[in-house]
Amino acid sequence: MNKITDFFRDLFSSNLKNTSLENILKSPEEITANSQPFYTAKKDLIFFPSLNAYGAFKYNVVRDIFANNKVITVSDVHIALNSVYFSLDEQKHQNNKKAAYKHLEFLSKQKQDEPNQSTKKVFDFLLSKFPTNSIFDLSAHLINPLIFINILEEYGFLEYMPQFNPWSNEYKHDEAIRLISNYFEDSNNLSTLLTEYISTQKPIPQKMQHFLTEIQSDHPVTDELLAQFFSSMIFSGTHSTSSFLASYIYVLFNQYPHLLNKPFNYNELEIVENEVLRIYTPVQWVFRTVREDTKYAGVDLKKGDTVILFVGAANLDPTVFTSPNEIRFDRKTNHLSFGMGPYACIGRFVTHRIAINLISYLSDYVHQINFIEKDERHSIHNAMLKIPLIVSYITK
């Protein structure tokens, strides 16, 4: 993280009076206001010397690099984190994406509107364990464990990790919540868990075995890479989804409680969902790497250069989105939160399914869950906006 901190210190020192990264991203209004010089700059790519990196803030530039550019492509960062799944060979990568949809069918578009009875069981269980006569963070006690346990089950790991399985004799609730919180606070803890799992010759879930048989990796899949692969898949499926859901629940409960009344207006719920994804972009920036010398937007780029796509800023570009910080039901332009093109997020349909399911369950408790803090407070973690949901819960 030191490199990232140095980057943003350089990024804002000359233009924005030494405003810290956390202050810049504490709210959408701050992002829009402080990105204004870059929205209106003549250059589409801004060079920041301390990291030897370029930044793209404008919506149309970020979208173009996501969707069309074959030279500025998946980053060395992504390759390092998950070199089993990601490949510089686009045909290989598309093969891996198809294999993911095939063997992890919950990722597919066809499943996005389906109710998930397993998730409902976990939700009910977690609800029964809510702290009583106290205030607590809904993210730590519901959203994070719900997603983490659900993802483990979807991948087939849950039966082999009884410490996270609510129906196992080895499950201890307080300890499970503590461990899951640790994984959300520091992804290295998750990597350690999966490394230990692989090193003790625990079974590879059948779904993941089938998935691995069809992956076209650029490297032999060693135990170390296998642990990185599993960790990356779980991390990607939990952190960004949790960040989004916290913001979505906050907005619905505080601004649109009528949408929680049944029967649901699914069209309006989805509009708010997409506006929340746009305004409170879970992953605020992503990296791309230049693969060969090229000229892009009048800038001479060299092989190996880093381009940072500020997705959160692009989603609030006032030249594209009128009143960008407001939820509007008449938006026509799509957000970029899941990326575009060959390396777009494979979990976008899962995010929708979990959101619809969770709102369905929570709607029955709209009058029992009370938000103690009415002001949104965001914090930075791995390029993600996270909002603590401090609530009280009244039992029936």
Pairing state of beta strands 53-56 and 306-309? Answer: parallel
Q: What is the pLDDT of residue 26?
A: 61
- Cis status of the peptide bond prior to 263, with omega within 30 of 0: yes
Count Cβ neighbours within 10 Å for each residue of 331-346 and write b for 16 or more, e otherwise.
beeebbbbbbbebebb
Domains, in order of start, for the chain: 2-393 (1.10.630.10)
According to DSSP, residue 296 is labeled E
Spatial separation of the C-alpha atoms in residues 289 and 219, rounded to whole Å: 19
Q: What is the largest CA-CA distance in the chain?
A: 64
Q: Average pLDDT per run of 10 along the chain, which is 396 residues long?
A: 46 42 62 83 86 89 92 89 89 94 91 85 95 89 95 94 96 96 87 91 92 92 91 89 91 92 94 95 91 94 94 94 95 94 90 93 91 66 72 84
Handedness of CA 235, 236, 237, 239 (dihedral sign): positive
- Is the CB of residue 214 less than 8 Å from the CB of residue 92? no
The helix (run of H) or strand (run of E) holding residue 337 is none
